[in-house]
Amino acid sequence: MMNIMRHAKHAVRTAAKEASHERIVSAAARAIRRSGYEGTGVAEIMKEAGLTHGAFYAHFASREAMLAEAAARACIDSASIAANAVARVPPEQALTYILHAYLSRENLAQVELGCPLVALGSETVRQTPEVRRVTTRYIKEMVDLVARQSPDWGQGGVHERALVTVATMVGTLLLARVVDEPALSDSLREAALKHLPIA
């Protein structure tokens, strides 16, 4: 009986630690997109997660380890949103849907939840190899998702067009966020949608 109680207590502690870890990673994934890697501090994340600063090292060996996991979460969340979007529409409409959703005003405004490439791209080159590896995987997944939605998937040139499409999507959203003129922001997004050959 004592053995069962010990196991039950251990299971409860493990579940609580996992839930705390999840809160930290979710808070950090939002924070890095909001404030950048350099602007994201441990104290801020722990406070947002509802935990004490001292509890941090029960979850991560370092701030860099947390940032790598946060980057992975941001990428996974963003990829999941795109995959779910594709699943909701007929295959022949999927690519157009992705492009319009990605370059929408709504996505433009969702800094904390949007594409991590737009929020963190210029900073990523100065991050740890783990963060760069996660980002590289995400870019490859985005290119693959776009290529698979192409009407001529499997034929020559599709991968290259997908590379250009993803680069245009990310670059357009980045510029549309940077400018301080709403009309110019709209024009950037509209021009990209008009000139992407598959939109």
Answer for the pair 192, 103: CB distance below 8 angstroms, yes or no. yes
Q: Which helix (H) or strand (E) holds 130?
A: helix 129-148
Q: What is the pTM of this model?
A: 0.83
Q: What is the CATH number of the domain that holds 169?
A: 1.10.357.10
Instruction: Provide the number of structural domains found in the chain.
Output: 1
How far, CA to CA in Å, does 42 sit from each of 23, 47, 94?
13, 9, 39
Residue 149, domain extent: 2-195
Q: For every one of its 199 residues, what pLDDT tens digit does the chain have, with 9 covering 90 and above?
A: 656 656 556 565 767 788 899 999 999 999 999 999 999 999 999 999 999 988 999 999 999 999 999 999 999 998 888 888 888 899 889 999 999 999 999 999 999 988 999 999 889 999 999 999 999 999 999 999 999 998 888 888 899 999 999 999 999 999 999 999 999 999 999 999 999 866 4
* Three-class SS state of 78: helix
Report the distance separating Cα 199 and Cα 108, nearest Å: 18
